[in-house]
Amino acid sequence: MKSGFLPGNQVTLLESGSEYFPALLAAIDGAVVEIHLETYIFADDATGRRVAAALAAAALRGVVVHVLVDGFGARGFVDGLGRGLREAGAHVLVYRPEVAALRLRRHRLRRLHRKLAVVDGRIAFVGGINIIDDQDAPGAEPRFDYAVRIEGPLLAPIHAGVHHLWQLVRWAALQRRQFEPACVVPDLAPRGPVGAAFVIRDNLRHRRDIEDVYLEAIATAREEIVIASAYFLPGRRFRHALAEAAGRGVRVVVLLQGRVEYVLLHYATQALYGALIGAGVRIFEYRRGFLHAKVAVVDCCWATVGSSNIDPFSLLLAREANVVMRSGEFAGRLRDSLQRAMDADAAEVRAEDMRRRPLLARAVSWLAYAAVRAMIGFTRYGGRDYRE
């Protein structure tokens, strides 16, 4: 792992927006020098307006506030909540603005999918939760997702990462080459017992870092692998790694989205069910609401929480960020949360369920899978992993 594990961190698991947003707002309200926030979606809903108001208040009291949003996921932000933030003195930038919505270009799929916040160089948040109300989803139940709150030495690479991307986007947007120094030096004092690493994916030096971290953990697993991924369409390397783990006696469990959110990905994923189940992988579909989690636990002491799904758009195209922890206590807490979700709100997909699927449903799944492969081929980033 290129970034390396750093000891001495306090890492707190936050389950869904009900735990994440109060913690984020408390950190913003306590900020005195600098805030960096990156998000794919920044919705103009009750939650988005609360976060925007807290950021604006911080800017008005003299905190340097940087907000970076994705040009596709947060299309209306600049002319909506972003305008109010700028009027308050916050700095707002857009990653790859959508300037030609009807034009099909391969670079359009390269999005900012990270969900990060760093406050005063002393508190960081990393996870999969956008700035959007949990209830702002089809259906009655809230989204199910995770983030972590971090204090300790891991603030060094996280703070450096958000500052570096801000500089890149600032240069691209304003055509200015001046270097803007960070306002704070991160607080790297030990705060807890957790060894952790910050892992990113981009198209420069970190093209496969997140996937490689997963593959390393899967290859060394001895007892159990539990993965929850909102969108799951792994390439051959990842599928073979899971099958090999199951073949050597490891309990391999994958918790996936049970409701249809994005039709193409939903049915493309189902095309892989038969082979995975046949290899010994157990698949559960979360059905209470919409699963948005991107987490995993391996054996008793390895865990990851972040923004990266196990699909080609995350693993090959988008900018993503995960935190990996080596901690029995943290891994146990995350595993217990996933197990509760599977016991109460998910259903297992069994081999007999796949055999009973109508021929038309199978055909739709394979057509969807072929369509996704064609999209990845169009981008030229898939390599052999998605050509079969």
How many other β-carbons are positioned within 10 Å of the β-carbon of residue 326?
15
Query: Active site residue: 299, 311, 345, 385, which one?
Result: 299
Query: What's the CA gap between 272 and 283, in Å, rounded?
Result: 11
Cβ–Cβ under 8 Å, residues 231 and 257 = yes
Which residue of the set 36, 66, 70, 115 is catalytic?
A: 115
Distance CA 330, CA 327 (A): 5
DSSP bridge pairs for 124: 118, 150
**Six-digit token string for 46:** 């009750």
**C-beta of residue 148 within 8 angstroms of C-beta of residue 293:** no
Q: Is 294 an active-site residue? A: yes
Whether residue 164 lies in the annotated active site: no
From 113, 159, 163, 206, active-site residue: 113
Catalytic residue status for 115: yes
Query: Which residues does 145 contact at the CB level (< 8 Å), separation at least 6?
Result: 15, 16, 17, 20, 127, 128, 129, 134, 291, 292, 293
Catalytic residue among 159, 294, 345, 385: 294
Catalytic residue among 66, 70, 120, 206: 120
**Catalytic entry in 66, 159, 206, 292:** 292
* Distance between CA atoms of residues 257 and 277, nearest Å: 16
- 2 classed as catalytic: no
User: Would you please indicate which residues are annotated as catalytic (active-site) residues?
Assistant: 113, 115, 120, 292, 294, 299
